[in-house]
Amino acid sequence: MGVFIIIKETKNEVRLYLLGQLKEEDEERLELRLLTDPAFGADFDTLVDEITDEYVGNELPGEERKRVEQYFLRSAERQNKVRFARELFRQAAVERGGGVVNAPVPPEPGWWDRASEFWNRQALSLRFASIFATLIIMAGIAMLVLPTRNPTSPSYASIALKISSSDRSAGAEIPSVKPQPGDAGIRIEIALPDGSPPANSYRVNLQSEQVSRDLPVAEQNDHAVVVIVPTAELPPGSYTIQLFADEQRIRGSAVFNVE
């Protein structure tokens, strides 16, 4: 087994630790020494072998034997040591012509027991690093799997217009729209005149004192046509809209102001 250099007081402390009887603050101090003192770690392993041999050889008093079974043998590695030591004792007993050692053998450790044993043997810093890396990986997977959401939907200033039955609506109040800072554009909904036959396509023509141009249709149905114009393209002023259904102009127009 090698020369045992742990002094008696320290040996007793290690034994209490292995049997789960050491105070928490003393456990932390001992575990730190195991991580930083290789010689102490070697002597620690020697004491583990000593307890294993005492257990397999039925040399432990009843209370200590229970502590071994309830605490010491939680480790899958120590369970394997018991199996190995029991086999050595059995072979030695057979060669001597004696009886077979009857120390109970723990069940074969499962996958979870082996993983837990490996995890518990790692340094605390390595455990934290592993947990952090796992969280990063899970976050990356979540970003790939979960649908991407737009942080904010663009906002629009809105105005509803109606094509009048005459070319210009005399005396009618002209509707106005005032875009707010941050608005991406102006949404213009143009209601179709009552009784208008359905059309396959619509064309919206925008006129002012400076320009006359067609606007792309964003939405259309049997009741209205919607266009969206970037704010920068509609400076303050007065505008007229003419509507075409299947390239046939719908009689009348709609007038509005941009403030």
pLDDT for the residue numbered 38: 87
Contact 215, 204 (CB under 8 A): yes
For residue 231, which of 188, 177, 185 has the smallest C-alpha distance? 185
Are the CB atoms for 58 and 103 separated by under 8 Å? yes
Query: What local confidence, expressed as pLDDT, does residue 119 receive?
Result: 53
User: Residue 33: what pLDDT?
Assistant: 87
Q: Give pLDDT, residue 125.
A: 55
Report the CATH number of the 156-258 domain: 2.60.40
Task: Dig out the tokens for 223 from the structure.
Answer: 């009741």
Per-residue pLDDT, 94: 76
User: Measured between alpha carbons, how far is 214 from 110 in angstroms, rounded to an integer?
Assistant: 74
Residue 209 to residue 167: CA distance in whole angstroms = 16
pLDDT of res. 149: 52
Strand order from edge to edge, sheet including 156-162:
156-162, 185-191, 224-230, 217-220
Contact in structure between 193 and 245 (CB atoms under 8 Å): no
Start-end ranges of CATH 2.60.40 in the chain? 156-258
Q: Report the SS3 class of residue 45.
A: helix
Would you give per-residue pLDDT tens digits along the chain (259 residues)? 334 445 667 888 898 999 989 888 888 888 888 888 888 888 888 899 999 989 888 888 888 899 998 888 888 888 888 888 888 878 877 777 655 455 555 555 555 555 555 555 555 556 556 677 788 888 778 777 665 555 567 899 999 998 875 544 445 688 999 999 989 899 999 998 887 788 888 999 998 888 789 999 999 988 899 999 998 888 999 999 999 988 888 888 889 999 9
Give CA–CA dist 79/224, Å, rounded: 79
Beta partners for 230?
185
Query: For the purposes of burial, counting CB atoms within 10 Å of the CB of 58, is it exposed (0-12), middle (13-18) or buried (19 or more)?
Result: exposed
What is the sign, positive or negative, of the torsion defined by CA atoms of 164, 168, 170, 174? positive
pLDDT at position 228 is 93
**What tokens appear for 78 in the block?**
């120590």
Question: pTM for this one?
Answer: 0.42
CA–CA distance, 43 with 14 (Å, rounded to integer): 10
Pairing of strands 237-245, 248-249: antiparallel
- In angstroms and rounded to an integer, the radius of gyration of the C-alpha atoms of the chain is 43
